[in-house]
Amino acid sequence: MWQSLTGFVLILVFSLSIALIFLAVGALIAAKGKDTPGKFAPYACGEDVPTERVMVDVEEFFIYAVYFMIFDILAFIIATTIARPTNIFIPILFTSTSLLSIVVLNLRRMK
């Protein structure tokens, strides 16, 4: 048992040392940019935009994130059940539940 653990530790140390060597060499030979005053200006355009004008609507982003999550899981379920359709009831149930949740989200958003 200790022999397999020793081999794992040696491989881990070797891999980390190679990675650190690559990072050090990359940091040495990488191009260094000049620090200019415009580089650190807000929005990189030089305009001072008041923070009141730049308000992010987090609720809209959250709605789109939920839509993405629903469609992503739905696509995964459909893609994995097409290969082996032994029980077609589960993907149909999940699809109908997903579509119902999208309708509910849209109805709440319209209010």
Residue 72 within any structural domain of the chain:
yes
| CB distance 86 to 47 below 8 Å | no
What is the average pLDDT score of the chain?
Answer: 80
48 vs 99: which has the higher pLDDT: 99
Residue 44 within any structural domain of the chain:
no
Give the integer Cα–Cα distance in Å for 9 and 7: 5
Pair (27, 56) in one structural domain: no
Decide if pLDDT at 46 tops 70.
Answer: no
> Residue 14: which pLDDT band, with cuts at 50, 70 and 90?
very high
Residue 2 belongs to domain spanning = 1-31
Which residue is associated with the tokens 């620090």?
35
Pair (26, 60) in one structural domain: no
